[in-house]
Amino acid sequence: MIRLDNVTVELGGNPILDGVNTEIRDGRFVGLVGPNGAGKTTLLRAIHGVLKPNSGVVELDGDPVSALSSREASRRVAVVPQDTTLSFDFPVEEVVAMGRHPYRTRFSGPTGDDADRERVRAAMERTEVGHLADRSIAAVSGGERQRVLLARALAQDAPALLLDEPTASLDINHQVRTLELVRELVDDDGKTVVAAIHDLNLAAHYCDELRLLAGGGIRASGDPEAVLAEDHLEAAFDTRAVVSSHPVTGSTYVTALPERASDREGRVHVVGGGGTVSRLLYLLSAAGYEVSVGALNEGDSDLETARSLGLDAVTEEPFAPVGDAARREVESRVREADATVLGDVEVGAGNLANLRAAREADSMVVVEERPFDERNYAGSEAAALYGELCERGRVVGPDDLLSAVVEAVAASDESPPPRAE
Ligand SMILES: Nc1ncnc2c1ncn2[C@@H]1O[C@H](COP(=O)(O)OP(=O)(O)OP(=O)(O)O)[C@@H](O)[C@H]1O
């Protein structure tokens, strides 16, 4: 258990943490989130004792960290720092072996005994840096260096890990792999992890709990859904955000709204279904557009979202194919709209008419929420159209939706209205 009791830290005469109280229970993965300069790194440094608070106490398993020798503290918590530039020129394997330092006696060699070497090897394997063992730490990339330092922390074999921006210089693949590994360390090895994480959506997906830091204190604490509430985010980050759940993973998902986003004018029709466009409906209506959606079957979760937002929805009977009446209504909505958003490309052949219309009209935006699995549609007209739209930059991810809609609305003044079915 890590416990902070009324911890106050001043740096350069400025209060950075002001009377912070929190507890981190064993076996939990806790994310520290908050704006730049909120004190996430400072909090981590206070936990492992390199920074002595001006007042208050940090306890590790009931002992004040200030009363532990650095060797003892290192056996209880291992740290992966944010600044991964190392000024020395050691082979990667020796850097990882430094993690064994708290266990060394004065008789161990530079790489320790066999048990030490085995732990170092296992840590390098787990973080996928084994192939770099003999390479100088000065000659690996920033992302590789970050994984080497994670290996060093694992080799340290402490029950708690403190990670400062563990995914900061990693590509998207390694971000996910690193956080999957951290999750595994918590679930399978029983580690306790406290990690400063900038990306709110990664934090929401992987952490058990979050602490939102801002203005010198913890502004919200608890499970990700409770912490990442729109009012908390607006207060902490001074920006408006829409919080919904991710259509594929179901995790809490935050999308920051661009400045003055709620002043947007125009009509946008959304084609979707099955929960694929709920988040887009939130975003577009929060941005100020007049949004219609459909056709959606009664009982569809996108329809529930549309109704909760008070949107105009074209509906069809439960489980029924779209009939002529609904189709005509959709066509008229699309004609009246300044932009149409297709949020459901995965349907493939069922979306053929829409994909054809998107090829013809610049005012149609195709949003890819989840990767299109071409294998399901190999050789089909839908796959070919989709590929063509991708090539022309007409398929956007959800984070680029708003700017694509702004462009599409502008383009609608210049192009004839599209057809959609
Ligand atoms: N040695 C120092 N002297 C004076 N001020 C400092 C010192 N170290 C950090 N600070 C200030 O303390 C504040 C908190 O810094 P900290 O690195 O803990 O924030 P953070 O939440 O980790 O930020 P980021 O998200 O940018 O990494 C910042 O305003 C920083 O400028």
pLDDT, tens digit, 9 for 90 and up, residues 86-96: 667 889 998 89
pLDDT band at 138 (very low <50, low <70, confident <90, very high): confident
Q: Report which protein residue has its CA nearest ligand 1's atom 31.
A: 37
Q: What is the pLDDT of residue 259?
A: 59
The answer to whether residues 343 and 305 touch, using CB atoms and an 8 Å cutoff, is no
Query: Which residues, other chains included, contact 413 with Cβ-Cβ below 8 Å and sequence gap of 6+?
Result: none
Evaluate if residue 354 carries a pLDDT over 80: no
Least confident window among 66-75, 177-186, 249-258, 372-381? 372-381
DSSP state of 103: G
Domain end position, chosen among 221, 243, 265: 243
> How far is residue 317's CA from residue 302's CA, in Å, rounded to a whole number?
14
pLDDT band at 81 (very low <50, low <70, confident <90, very high): confident
DSSP state of 10: E
Distance from the CA of 421 to the center of ligand 1, in angstroms? 54
Same domain? For 369 and 297 the reply is: yes
Q: How many CB atoms lie within 10 A of CB 316?
A: 22
Domain end position, chosen among 219, 243, 267: 243
Index of the ligand 1 atom closest to the CA of residue 213:
21
User: Which of 7, 14, 16 best tests ligand 1's pocket when mutated (most atoms within 8 Å of CB)?
Assistant: 16
Query: Which residues, other chains included, contact 336 with Cβ-Cβ below 8 Å and sequence gap of 6+?
Result: 267, 269
Same domain? For 316 and 272 the reply is: yes
Domain end position, chosen among 243, 272, 306: 243
Both tokens of 74, joined, read 């290192």
Q: What is the pLDDT of residue 139?
A: 87
In tens, the pLDDT along 33-63 reads 999 999 999 999 999 898 999 999 999 999 9
Look at the chain and report how many structural domains it folds into.
2
Evaluate if residue 418 carries a pLDDT over 60: no
> Which of 347, 339, 336 is CA-nearest to residue 302?
347
Same domain? For 212 and 327 the reply is: no
Q: E strands within 192-247? A: 192-196, 209-214, 217-222, 241-245
Domain that holds residue 398: 257-414
Same domain? For 236 and 295 the reply is: no
Length, in residues, of the chain = 421
Cis peptide upstream of residue 410 (ω within 30 degrees of 0)? no
The sign one gets for the Cα dihedral 71, 53, 61, 217 is: negative
Write down the pTM of the prediction: 0.72
> How far is residue 209's CA from residue 223's CA, in Å, rounded to a whole number?
4
The answer to whether residues 332 and 410 touch, using CB atoms and an 8 Å cutoff, is no
Same domain? For 35 and 149 the reply is: yes
Distance from the CA of 32 to the center of ligand 1, in angstroms? 14
Same domain? For 236 and 309 the reply is: no
pLDDT band at 345 (very low <50, low <70, confident <90, very high): low
Q: Mean pLDDT in the chain?
A: 85
The interaxial angle of helices 381-391 and 352-360, nearest 10 deg, is: 30
Q: Is residue 249 part of a domain?
A: no
Q: Which residue has the tokens 């944010």?
A: 82
> How far is residue 342's CA from residue 182's CA, in Å, rounded to a whole number?
36
The sign one gets for the Cα dihedral 141, 147, 150, 156 is: negative
Distance from the CA of 38 to the center of ligand 1, in angstroms? 7
Q: What is the pLDDT of residue 105?
A: 64
Q: Is residue 250 part of a domain?
A: no
Query: Which residues, other chains included, contact 87 with Cβ-Cβ below 8 Å and sequence gap of 6+?
Result: none
Q: Report which protein residue has its CA nearest ligand 1's atom 18.
A: 39
Same domain? For 175 and 98 the reply is: yes
> How far is residue 393's CA from residue 210's CA, in Å, rounded to a whole number?
36
223 by DSSP, 3-state: which? Answer: coil
Same domain? For 141 and 289 the reply is: no
Same domain? For 323 and 225 the reply is: no
Of 344 and 113, which is predicted with more confidence?
113
Using alpha carbons only, what angle is made at residue 131 by residues 127 and 134, rounded to the nearest 5 degrees? Answer: 110
Index of the ligand 1 atom closest to the CA of residue 198:
25
Q: What is the pLDDT of residue 419?
A: 54
**CATH code, 7:** 3.40.50.300
Q: Is residue 248 part of a domain?
A: no
Q: Is residue 41 part of a domain?
A: yes
Distance from the CA of 278 to the center of ligand 1, in angstroms? 38
In tens, the pLDDT along 226-278 reads 999 988 998 998 877 778 777 667 788 887 766 545 567 889 999 888 878 88
Q: Is residue 400 part of a domain?
A: yes
Q: What is the pLDDT of residue 217?
A: 94
Q: How far is CA 172 from CA 177, 230, 292, in A?
A: 9, 26, 34
Both tokens of 312, joined, read 């105009």
Same domain? For 277 and 364 the reply is: yes
Q: What is the pLDDT of residue 33?
A: 97
Least confident window among 149-158, 247-256, 318-327? 247-256
User: Which of 11, 83, 219 best tests ligand 1's pocket when mutated (most atoms within 8 Å of CB)?
Assistant: 11
Of 8 and 416, which is predicted with more confidence?
8
Q: Report which protein residue has its CA nearest ligand 1's atom 26.
A: 36
Q: What is the pLDDT of residue 286?
A: 80
Distance from the CA of 337 to the center of ligand 1, in angstroms? 48
pLDDT band at 387 (very low <50, low <70, confident <90, very high): confident
> How far is residue 258's CA from residue 283's CA, in Å, rounded to a whole number?
11
In tens, the pLDDT along 169-212 reads 788 888 888 899 999 999 999 999 999 999 999 999 999 999 99
Distance from the CA of 39 to the center of ligand 1, in angstroms? 6
pLDDT band at 84 (very low <50, low <70, confident <90, very high): low
Mean pLDDT of 298-318: 88
Q: Report which protein residue has its CA nearest ligand 1's atom 25.
A: 36
Q: Is residue 251 part of a domain?
A: no
Evaluate if residue 370 carries a pLDDT over 80: no
Q: What is the pLDDT of residue 111?
A: 58
Q: Is residue 252 part of a domain?
A: no
Q: Which residues line ligand 1 (CB under 6 A)?
A: 11-12, 16, 34, 36-42, 196
